[in-house]
Amino acid sequence: MQNKEIKLPTIKQMLKRYNIKIHKSLGQNFLLDNNIANKIAKYSEPTKKTIIEIGPGPGSLTRSILQRNPQKLFAIDKDIQSKIMLTDLESVYPNKLRIITGDALDYPIWKLGSVPRQVISNLPYNVSTKMLTLWLKYINNFECLTLMFQKEVADRILAKQGSKHFGRLSILTNWLTKSSKLFDVPNSAFFPSPKVKSTVIQLRPLPKPLYNVSFDALEKITKMAFSQKRKMLKSSLNQLGGKKFLDELDISANLRPEELSIVDFCRIAEKAFES
Ligand code: SAM
C-alpha cells in the first residue's frame, strides 16, 4: 500500500479551505470516516484494475482506492467543486487518477479503461436506482460493482422472492448478478449527516443470466406487474390476457407479484414480448 495521501489535508479541512457549497440536489453527503472508506476499498480489491468512481466529491473514497494501487481510477463528478478539491490528489497520482466533470448518466462508463473493470461509489441517492438500472444493461463489462445506497434501496435490491421488498430492482439485479450485503454505515459517518441510513452492497455478474430473455422485455413486465402491487397477476397482467395467459405458462393467476420467482417473470416476459 502507498501512503502518499498522508500529506493531504483532511476532508473537513478541504471543505473549509475551498469554501465548498453543499448541493442537496446532487445528493451530497460526504464520507468523513476514513475507516469506512478504507473498508469499502478493501472489499472491492481494486489493485491493478480499472476503477470507475462515481461522485468522488472531496475524495475520501478516492484516496482509499488510490492507496490500493489500481491500474487507473476514473473519477466522475457532476459538480466542478469536486475537481477543484481533487486537484492536489491528482498531482500526487498524476498517472493513475483521471478526473472527469460531468453527469455519469451520460457516460458510457462500461467502456472506460480496460478489463477487469469495477465501479466503486458512494452513490448520489437521488439517481442511484437510475444509475444501477443503466449499468445492469452492460453488466458483463464489469467485474464487480461495490456501491453504497440508502438502506431502504439496498433492501429492495437484495430482497428475495416472497419478501415485501421484492420488486423490479431485486428482479433485474438478481437475474444478472450475485448480490451481497457488505455492511451498514451510520449516518454519523457523513457530513452533512443524511436522514436515511446507508448500506454498502456488492454485485458480481453471474456467468450467464438466470434465464435468457431481453432486458427490455423483463423491464416492461416487471413494470406492469408491480405498478399494481396489491393486485393479483391475473388483474395486473390483464392486458396480456390475464388468467388464460398465465394458465398457459402454468403459473397461478392468483399470485401477487412479490410471490413470483425471477425465472417465472422471465418466462412471462418471453411469452409476452418475444414469441
Ligand atoms: N464519494 C464522496 C464521499 O463518499 O464522500 C461523495 C458522495 S456523495 C453521496 C455523491 C456525489 O455524487 C457528490 O459528490 C455529487 O456531486 C455527485 N453526483 C451527483 N449526481 C451525479 C451525477 N449524475 N453524475 C456524477 N456525479 C454525481
**Alpha carbon of 248 to those of 235, 239, 253, 267, 271: distances in Å?**
16, 15, 10, 11, 10
Three-state SS sequence of 66-93: HHCCECEEEEEECCHHHHHHHHHHHHHC
Nearest CA to ligand 1 atom 17: 55
Which of these, 221, 220, 235, 230, lies nearest to 258 by C-alpha position?
Answer: 230
Q: Write out pLDDT tens, residues 39-59.
A: 999 999 999 999 999 999 999
The per-residue pLDDT for 5 is: 45
| Greater model confidence, 8 or 23 | 23
Per the prediction, the chain carries an average pLDDT of: 95
Is pLDDT above 60 for 4?
Answer: no
Confidence of residue 8 (pLDDT cuts 50, 70, 90): confident
SS3 274: coil
CB 54 near ligand 1, within 6 Å: yes
Stated as kind and residue range, the H or E segment containing 202 is strand 198-205
**pLDDT at residue 258 greater than cutoff 90:** yes
pTM strictly above 0.85: yes
pLDDT of residue 217: 97
Q: Whole-angstrom Cα distance, residue 3 to residue 127?
A: 33
CA of 61 to the centre of ligand 1 (A): 11
Note whether 56 and 75 are within 8 A (CB). yes
**pLDDT tens-digit profile of 98-128?**
999 999 999 999 999 999 999 999 999 999 9
Q: How far is the CA of 248 from the centre of ligand 1 (A)?
A: 47
Q: Which atom of ligand 1 is nearest to the CA of 105?
A: 23
Section 205-217 average pLDDT: 97
200, 142, 149, 147: which is closest to 176 by C-alpha? 142
In whole angstroms, give the CA distance from residue 212 to residue 207.
12
Give mean pLDDT, residues 13-25.
Answer: 95
Residue 228: the pLDDT is 83
Give nearest CA residue, ligand 1 atom 6. 57
Which residue owns the Cα nearest ligand 1 atom 18?
55
Task: For residues 98 and 52, give the distance between their C-alpha atoms in angstroms, rounded to a whole number.
Answer: 10
- Residues 167-180 have pLDDT tens digits of 999 999 999 999 99
On the question of pLDDT at 2 being above 80, the answer is no
Between the CA of 215 and the centroid of ligand 1 the distance, in Å, is 27
63 CB within 6 A, ligand 1:
no
| pLDDT value of position 230 | 86
Burial label for 230, CB within 10 Å (0-12, 13-18, 19+), is: exposed
Look at ligand 1, atom 12, and give the residue with the nearest C-alpha.
Answer: 55
Which pLDDT does position 248 carry in this prediction? 97
Q: CA-to-CA distance for 124 and 54, rounded, in angstroms?
A: 8
Q: What percent of the chain lies above the pLDDT cut of 70?
A: 97
What percent of the chain has pLDDT above 90? 95
Question: Is 59 close to ligand 1, i.e. is its CB under 6 Å away?
Answer: no
What's the pLDDT tens digit per position in 59-98?
999 999 999 999 999 999 999 999 999 999 999 999 999 9
**Å from CA of 106 to ligand 1 middle:** 14
Is 78 touching ligand 1 by the criterion CB < 6 Å? yes
Look at residue 221 and tell me whether its pLDDT is greater than 60. yes
Q: Is 124 in the pocket of ligand 1 (CB under 6 A)?
A: yes
